[in-house]
Amino acid sequence: MLKYQQIASEIQQDIEKDDLPQGTKLPVLETFMSKYKTSKSTVIKALSLLERKGLVYQVRGSGIFVRRRNRKGYISFSNQGFSDELSEFDITAKVMELDIRKPPEDVAFNLKIHPKEDVYYVRRIRYINGQTLCLEESYYNKSIVTYLNTEIATGSIFDYISNALGVKIGFSDLYFHIQKLNQEEAQQLQLKKGDPKLFVETIFYLNNGVPFDFSKVTYNYQQSQFFFQSTGHSL
Amino acid sequence: MLKYQQIASEIQQDIEKDDLPQGTKLPVLETFMSKYKTSKSTVIKALSLLERKGLVYQVRGSGIFVRRRNRKGYISFSNQGFSDELSEFDITAKVMELDIRKPPEDVAFNLKIHPKEDVYYVRRIRYINGQTLCLEESYYNKSIVTYLNTEIATGSIFDYISNALGVKIGFSDLYFHIQKLNQEEAQQLQLKKGDPKLFVETIFYLNNGVPFDFSKVTYNYQQSQFFFQSTGHSL
DNA sequence: TTGATAAATTATAACGGTATAATTATAATG
DNA sequence: CATTATAATTATACCGTTATAATTTATCAA
């Protein structure tokens, strides 16, 4: 791990370990410099990383302070997309379908592939604390995600992709819609037709800009409590 | 404006002016260094800023590339919250209520003030392209936002706060919920009771960490198409 | 005590340099 | 021609320094 990431990680652990409350002032930069035996720029980078993660805020001329959320039970979605810090919740998944097929037109378009190229198709129901969280349909570019099976898809597909396949995940585009459930979705989520849903289409890209996953997710509105932290202009 | 912000702004304008397509490679760092007569670190800072804004992505060993969204008609919400780049849309507002009052318990809690301190209360309906976009209830800490009137609230309150009052806006916490409209909300949004809604509570903080605005917004689900770009882990 | 002024503290901007890691292009090899 | 090894390109990490801007604290005057 990079030095500034390591430092950021240690500072984060310290904050969480001591459960420092909102507004607590952290040591000054000089302290971190000598503590971690590194340069000022590296400390600044580490703290900027924590600021982007929403853990601290920095005030010029004053200091660096702890930033905390004040509500529990919300699924946080950071700049990495969702699924960060879901350790707080018990998330499981049931794989309904998994096969190799040719992509529909919209999928081919979003993955920037030819409609006759193969994709992995995965349909899952995900559960949070035993309740239905969402229906998920995902299409993976098979030339990048070369292999998948039900066992893998029952766990975290992304962990598998980044670890076993050594693929580097970069960024993603998310498109949110609020809609009404149709009959089929309602049945699978154990809700009623016409009930609200959050529908999210996401395109995931590798770090070199190549799209490798296009997914459509329908969320159970009863579980749809999300938390998002925005950070300042400059940083 | 700071040098790196200025450079970022100019690069952004170049990208938009020439309408550079996704994946276009930008000049190498050296080019920017000599073009803007500045150091490498400053160029890197400018480009990192653009990366966080979702305008470019950088690939080590390869180059810097243009990142573009591929759908129109979505309200983008960046790390500044919503309302960035809304120039694409025609947004108006009608002020329904505006007065000074004592905050309810939850508002006092989120603004971290005593329940007997004064707040400005503003209730607005906002329209997008002539259609109802959302109902908004906002509470402003009066000791920070010292004055408001209907004329100001008809426009952008945040522009007024940051320009006229010279207050520096920092970050914000957003809490999202998917729910059903009640009778009153449905009527105001010209929808039906039980229709879906996106309900967002937001706490806005000054750059020194003091909360100054707590708002509750109910979105018309028919207009609720949002776009969000996530950026990589490291950066 | 109050209010203004100055000094100290603190984070940030900006410079410029060396070293490193990832990618891409080129050359060598079979 | 395909594969492999090497070199060139390119962005990033990291160092250390000076200058600057915001804030806080201390000082002084009324």
Enumerate long-range contacts of A185-194, CB under 8 Å, 24 or more apart: A185/A135, A185/A218, A188/A125, A188/A132, A188/A135, A189/A132, A189/A134, A189/A135, A189/A218, A189/A220, A190/A132, A191/A220, A191/A221, A191/A222, A194/B194
Pick the residue from chain A with its C-alpha nearest to B9: A234
The mean predicted confidence, pLDDT, of chain A is 92
Mean local confidence (pLDDT), B202-218: 96
Question: Could you tell me if B173 and B202 are in contact, meaning their C-beta atoms sit under 8 angstroms apart?
Answer: yes
pLDDT of A233 over the 70 cut: no
Distance of CA A227 to the CA centre of its chain: 12
Nucleotides of D under 7 A from a protein CB: 8-18, 21-24
Mean local confidence (pLDDT), B203-216: 95
Q: Choose among A172, A195, A173: nearest CA to A182.
A: A195
pLDDT interval class at A235 (50, 70, 90): very low
The mean predicted confidence, pLDDT, of chain B is 92
Cβ of B59 within 8 Å of Cβ of A208? The answer is yes
Q: Which of B179, B207, B229 sits opposite A196 (nearest CB)?
A: B179
pLDDT in tens, B155-204: 889 889 888 888 889 999 999 999 999 999 999 999 999 999 999 999 99
pLDDT interval class at B129 (50, 70, 90): confident
Whether B20 has its CB under 8 Å from any CB of chain A: the answer is no
| CATH class of the structural domain A75-227 | alpha beta
Mean local confidence (pLDDT), A161-181: 91
Query: How far is A222 from A220, CA to CA, in rounded Å?
Result: 5
pLDDT of A31 over the 60 cut: yes
pLDDT interval class at B80 (50, 70, 90): low
For residue B209, say whether its CB is under 7 Å from any atom of strand D: no
| CA quadruple A199, A203, A204, A207: dihedral sign | negative
Fold of B3-66: Arc Repressor Mutant, subunit A (1.10.10)
Residues 67-106 of B with CB within 7 A of strand C: none
Mean local confidence (pLDDT), A113-141: 95
The least confident of A70-84, B58-72, B133-147 is A70-84
Residue ranges of domains in chain A:
3-66, 75-227
Q: For residue B80, count CB atoms less than 10 angstroms from its CB and return exposed for 0-12, middle for 13-18, buried for 19 or more.
A: middle
CB atoms within 10 A of CB A234: 10
